[in-house]
Structure 1
Amino acid sequence: MNDEESGPARRHPAQLPPSPVFRLRNARLGLPGATSPLLDVEEFTLLPGERVVITGPSGAGKSLLLSMVTGRWALGLEFTGTRTPGSPRIGYIPQRGQDALHPLLPLGRQLRKATGASAQQVRDTLQAAGLSDPQLLARRPAELSGGQAQRAAIALAVLSQAPVILADEPTSALDHHSRDLILELLGNVLGQRQTLVLVTHDPAAAQALATRHLVLDSGKIASTTAPRLERVPA
């Protein structure tokens, strides 16, 4: 046995927690001079691989929280606090998939142009999103069904390789069957280290997806579950 082997047992360095991909601290958004902000967030941190579902009544501040994440809020609103994005790239899945897509470009061409992905990467990602019919590559968004357009918007978010993906009520315009399929896709097709923030009125989404569930009410985070990070690779 050599000297190295006879010494104290080697120890692996303590595993550090993953670095946040986004953080808000003491963040407020409201009208200049107003006594109370429209949204007041003491702390909001996103970690790699999280699936954060945000619910709350209408007017609670869900869309305002997404605007804090994107850094784009309505003209006339004033932001104070600390906003620390880990990356300038943020993907977005809207309520209607067509709103994420260029109306005039065929699907395959625009996904390649928007993301720089190869034709094979586009085909593979569309297949993973449930759009395996090669004829869909030549169709324009108006020629897609609502469910197909939503899947295409998810494929666009995946191909963007953005570390944070925001989804604003992406299942509200779908029937229950299509909703369940989209929720399954959101849980599985995004990269393991891509972080999903899903705003919804649908409690089934929180049940199906959330590693952390935030409830907003009256412009504040009213409650939050402890994060489950088993999706995050070691």
Structure 2
Amino acid sequence: MADGGAPAARGSSRGVLIRDDWPGFPLHLFSFPKHYAEDLECVLIPHGIIMDRTERLARDIMSDLGDHDIVVLCVLKGGYQFCSDLVEVIKALSRTSERSLLMRVDFIRLHSYLNDQSTEDLHIVGPEDLSILSGKNVLIVEGIVDTGKTMKALLKHVVTFQPKMVKVAGLLVKRVASGVGSLPDYVGFEIPNRFVVGYALDYNEYFRDLSHICVISDDGKRKYKV
């Protein structure tokens, strides 16, 4: 934890570092749906901080990819809120700066979790035929990357359609011992190995209606376990 009780920050490709000993913010300091009152441990990243970091990532993407046509490939469902907010900021920057970024947005859905455990099976739901990516600059937008196995499999799938370039923006990267592959090109936050929900990240389809990114409690896991 940094001085003053805030998570440490650093300027690097790994994003904003949230250390393992960061306890998070007490729930009573924030507004959230009352039906989750017993299901959360803490607020790990408040919504306002998410939005500020998203704006910074959008500016970095504009700096790198501005004046190119890109296809934004949103990974559903956990990435939809981050992708939506990121695209909105890029659109605003395109209107107000000398550089612009012409975007087309498409979607792909992946499923690899059972309760709070990542499984070996990756299921691609939706448009498996991504021939629209052929010869295009592609920006994959993902809500969270943990072991990296899902992202590695998705990248392997995407490159079969011969895109011109592929970049990855991940809001969260989780520090896990079993991590494989490389980091996303654009990282919002590097977080401890804790199961987080909110801002479209779910636990068995619950908690997507949280604005903040929170740590789920053991009671919450038991309550919504399938």
Q: TM-score normalized by structure 1?
A: 0.31
The structure with the larger Rg is 1
Point out the structure with the larger helix share.
1
